[in-house]
């Protein structure tokens, strides 16, 4: 499967939205290279995120094979350590979609570092191809209709609700949904497995 061509537009929109939110927030948004608190704990990758991560790894394998080997080594070590409790198929990396699997995922690997994270620099080795969850972390975002704004706990310390609201990052959910519709597979996974395919 190939990454939909519209993904580059989605990434551009997301990066622009983040930059605007960061400009509005000023010093209240403390996210910077090397700050990696948000790079711990597993989260669900959509099929679109999975294809983007895999496209990134293909590029890294072609241009920086030694770096690719390090990333893959961390991904294999992550699976070896956490695979026994993985709420899905350990052979394919596909997350289970039953109620029980979803409940198990809530408590799954909440502290371990993402295998894409370079432990020496605190930076993401696939930053240009990172998932949407990573692209929206930090600024205030509203993930559902009418939900409260959520943001990184390190950011907006002491800010009023009005200031937080003024820095809201808008998510282009419709475009992302359209791109997901273009992908035949609806299977979800986590970063470690996406890095290895």
Tens-of-pLDDT digits for all 197 residues of the chain? 789 999 999 999 999 999 999 999 999 998 888 788 889 999 999 999 999 999 999 999 999 999 999 999 999 999 999 999 999 999 999 999 999 999 999 888 888 999 999 999 999 999 999 999 999 888 999 876 667 788 888 889 999 989 998 999 988 889 999 999 999 999 999 999 999 97
Q: What SS3 state is found at 158?
A: coil
Q: Tell me, what's the pLDDT at 101?
A: 93
Q: Tell me, what's the pLDDT at 35?
A: 85
What are the tokens at 170? 């808008």
The model carries a pTM of 0.91
Q: What is the CA radius of gyration of the chain?
A: 17
What is the crossing angle of helices 65-82 and 47-63, to 10°?
A: 140
CA 110-78-129 angle, to 5 degrees, is 85
Neighbours of 134 (CB within 10 A): 20
The tally of CA atoms less than 13 A away on the side-chain side of residue 133 is 17
How many angstroms separate the CA atoms of 164 and 149, rounded? 8
Q: Tell me, what's the pLDDT at 144?
A: 66
What are the tokens at 43? 């989260």
Residue with tokens 């080594």: 73
Q: Tell me, what's the pLDDT at 145?
A: 66
Q: Tell me, what's the pLDDT at 146?
A: 65
Domain ranges of the chain: 7-24+32-139+152-196
Q: Tell me, what's the pLDDT at 188?
A: 96
């Amino acid at each position: 499967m190939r990454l939909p061509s519209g993904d580059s537009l989605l990434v551009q929109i997301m990066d622009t939205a983040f930059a605007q939110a960061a400009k509005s927030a000023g010093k209240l948004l403390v996210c910077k290279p090397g700050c990696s608190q948000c790079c711990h704990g597993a989260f669900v990758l959509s099929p679109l995120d999975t294809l983007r991560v895999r496209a990134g790894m293909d590029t890294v394998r072609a241009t920086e094979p030694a770096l690719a080997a390090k990333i893959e080594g961390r991904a294999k070590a992550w699976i070896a350590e956490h695979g026994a409790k993985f709420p899905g198929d350990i052979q394919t990396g596909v997350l289970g979609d039953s109620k029980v699997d979803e409940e198990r995922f809530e408590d799954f690997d909440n502290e371990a570092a993402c295998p894409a994270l370079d432990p020496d620099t605190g930076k993401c080795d696939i930053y240009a191809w990172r998932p949407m969850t990573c692209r929206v972390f930090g600024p205030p975002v509203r993930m559902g209709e009418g939900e409260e704004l959520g943001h990184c706990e390190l950011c907006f310390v002491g800010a009023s609700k009005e200031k937080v609201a003024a820095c809201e990052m808008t998510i282009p959910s419709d475009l992302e949904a359209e791109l997901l519709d273009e992908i035949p597979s609806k299977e979800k996974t986590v970063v470690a497995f996406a890095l290895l395919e």
